[in-house]
Amino acid sequence: MKSKSLKETIKSLEAKKISIKELNDEYIKNIKEKNNLNIFIHFDEQKIIDQVNKLEIDNSNKKLKGIPIAIKDLFCTKDMPTTAASKILENFNPTYESFVTQNLLDDGAVFVGKTNCDEFAMGSANNTSYFGNTINPLSNDDEPLAPGGSSGGSAAAVAADLCLGATGTDTGGSIRQPASFCGVVGIKPTYGLCSRWGITAFASSLDQAGVFTNNVEDASILLESISGFDSRDSTSANVNIPNYSKNLNSDISGKTVGIPNEYSIEGTPEEISQIWEDAIKYIESKGAKIKKISLPHTKYALPTYYIIAPAEASSNLARYDGVKYGFRADEINSLDEMYENTRGKGFGKEVKRRILIGTYVLSAGYYDAYYLKAQKVRKLIANDFNDAFKDCDFIVTPTAPSAAFPLSASQDDPIKMYLNDIFTVPASLAGLPGISIPFGKDKNNLPLGIQILGKHFDEQQVFNAAYCLEKSYE
């Protein structure tokens, strides 16, 4: 029998209680059975079998040998197409492997497929994907729920038991929010910990890779694999990657935990305030000191993010013009018409909205008033965290302002959708590591998430605090 724990499965494989083939056959079966959830953009059974056959005759020791992993379709993969869930990249086959996926392959992981996400990772419900919405596996029959976004397919893949771990990217909350919606663990490490090489760019000063798993220990194992310095990404940090899983320690006695006043937001459902309080009480009972802190510029985080992210996106997405690769519109009579029609037909509504906002805030005359101002506010937000971390070791907040909402409610109101990111975006702007772990349920029995934020490159502390909190319900 396969276990839902990546760590336990590694042990079973090593002890030869199960073979790599048996393990992956079970996952292939699950993936086919749950095809209706639309979790994968690319799934090719033969490619999984080929990877398994190679690993079965490989005698070297590899940390993740044979472990089925799902890859967000934003990571370039040599042997599988990479679409960023966009029509404009529908037939794109990268000629190179991203840093993150190469690391996983080097460690012996088996890629089971490429997961659905919001188009170019812009969204919070997976409803901007050109390939249709992923359905949250926790939905009941009459009410399909959103898996969250943008990495909704990856979170859903773990929750639906279609892999033992999945990669995601988080620009403003795209790992933490779907983790919370699907009831799994999701970590976004410090900006710079994992190279962005080979990740389809959305907002380069914010984009960060991370992972989804069923538990904290598994997340620590996978993060070790995907982290590291890479000279091909100029913002990659040259830091030592600790052995997070080996150093995992649930003892948080003597630590100081910051609870930010500004995260008590009017209109937050009672159940979310309740799980937050429960988490704080549990942490206190484990010997940590609770400290009320203030992050005074929090209220500016969302507007700041929705200036900076679209600004960078408008620049990054300029490359999709129908000239070199990807979709090209037909029926064109001039170069300008080719650009216009290719981009007009190739991008979805939300991506176009971001390009328009971004172009506007970067335009002469508005640059100072919007983009430059947003950069200054971003610095103030980062300073708030730096000040707070002088007096505390980590910060605890809710992950998202709601549980998974119905797909039918993943509406056309972009502002309402942007509000999903209210608790995740501040740490993104500050480049801090954050994890979401399932903690408690709402009145419909849907999972809610608690977010733990740490100092730059203090993923170990974030893992340890999450490991402690996880023990309250294990």
Cα end-to-end span (Å), the chain: 20
- In the set 68, 94, 173, 260, which binds ligand GLN (CB under 6 A)? 173
Q: Judged by CB under 6 A, does residue 73 bind ligand GLN?
A: no
DSSP state of 290: E
Q: Which part of the chain contacts ligand GLN (CB under 6 A), choosing from 172-180, 280-288, 341-349, 389-397?
A: 172-180
Give the pair of three-digit tokens for residue 322: 């129908």
Site string for ligand GLN, 124-143 (x = CB under 6 A): x-------------------
Q: How far apart are CA 15 and CA 364, in angstroms?
A: 64
DSSP state of 235: T
| Torsional sign, CA 58, 62, 67, 68 | negative
Q: Which is nearer to ligand GLN, 172 or 198 (CB)?
A: 172
* β-pairing verdict for 289-293 and 256-260: parallel
Extract the runs of DSSP E, i.e. beta strands, from 328-423: 394-398
Helical pair 99-106 and 216-226, crossing angle rounded to 10 deg: 110
Q: How far apart are CA 213 and CA 184, in angstroms?
A: 6
Q: Which part of the chain contacts ligand GLN (CB under 6 A), choosing from 80-88, 168-176, 210-218, 450-458?
A: 168-176
* 50 phi and psi angles, rounded to 5 deg: -60, -45
Q: Which is nearer to ligand GLN, 226 or 338 (CB)?
A: 226
Decide: residue 207, CB within 10 A, 0-12 exposed, 13-18 middle, 19+ buried. buried
* β-pairing verdict for 165-170 and 208-213: antiparallel
- Site size toward ligand GLN (CB under 6 A) is 13
Selecting among 129, 174, 236, 245, the annotated active-site residue is 174
* 369 phi and psi angles, rounded to 5 deg: -70, -30
Q: How far is the CB of 444 from ligand GLN (least distance, A)?
A: 23
Q: How far is the CB of 135 from ligand GLN (least distance, A)?
A: 19
Q: Which part of the chain contacts ligand GLN (CB under 6 A), choosing from 95-103, 164-172, 191-199, 454-462?
A: 164-172
Site string for ligand GLN, 187-206 (x = CB under 6 A): ---------------x----
- In the set 67, 121, 138, 193, which binds ligand GLN (CB under 6 A)? 121
* Closest residue to ligand GLN in the complex (CB): 174
Q: How far is the CB of 188 from ligand GLN (least distance, A)?
A: 8
Q: Judged by CB under 6 A, does residue 123 bind ligand GLN?
A: yes
Decide: residue 145, CB within 10 A, 0-12 exposed, 13-18 middle, 19+ buried. buried
Question: Is position 174 annotated as part of the catalytic site?
Answer: yes
Order across the sheet with 394-398: list the strands.
Answer: 40-42, 110-115, 68-72, 165-170, 208-213, 185-188, 434-441, 447-454, 394-398, 256-260, 289-293
Beta bridge partners of 436: 186, 451
Site string for ligand GLN, 46-65 (x = CB under 6 A): --------------------
DSSP state of 217: H
Q: Which is nearer to ligand GLN, 202 or 347 (CB)?
A: 202
| Torsional sign, CA 251, 10, 101, 77 | negative
Q: Which is nearer to ligand GLN, 9 or 154 (CB)?
A: 154
Instruction: Provide the 10 A C-beta neighbour count for residue 41.
Output: 25
Site string for ligand GLN, 283-322 (x = CB under 6 A): --------------------------x-------------
What element of type H or E holds 159?
Answer: helix 152-159
Q: Which part of the chain contacts ligand GLN (CB under 6 A), choosing from 169-177, 220-228, 273-281, 291-299?
A: 169-177
Q: Judged by CB under 6 A, does residue 449 bind ligand GLN?
A: no
Q: How far is the CB of 199 from ligand GLN (least distance, A)?
A: 11
Q: Which part of the chain contacts ligand GLN (CB under 6 A), choosing from 8-16, 136-144, 171-179, 405-413?
A: 171-179
Residues in the site for ligand GLN, rule: CB under 6 A? 121-124, 150, 170-174, 202, 309, 421
